[in-house]
Amino acid sequence: MKIISASRVNERLTAGETLNIIDVREAAEVRSGRIPTSIHLPLGLLEFRMNELDKKKEYIVVCQSGGRSSQAVKFLDYQGFNVTTMDGGMLAWEGKVD
């Protein structure tokens, strides 16, 4: 499983890079703040909405602490997607939030 640090994600965003970030937390968690440009796709709906994703793109998956994003990455990787989990989740995030 590929892992990226929250600080590295923030560096890439700050440098102007366009990243495809999937937030797999529940709606109540997302309301407390999310990484700008991330899309909300709760873990429980991932199986049913993965058709909205493009296998040609790279995705960074985020949750609250890293557990659910790891589950999502394992699932999506098995389905043929290019996915990376953000280590530490939103608890490790120090960048901007929407």
Confidence bin at 17 (pLDDT 50/70/90): very high
H-helix or E-strand containing 86?
strand 82-87
pTM of structure: 0.95
Catalytic, out of 6, 24, 46, 63: 63
pLDDT digit string (tens) for 36-78?
999 999 999 999 999 999 999 999 999 999 999 999 999 999 9
CA 38/CA 60 separation, integer angstroms = 9
Known catalytic residue: 40? no
Report pLDDT for 95: 93
- Mean pLDDT for the chain? 96
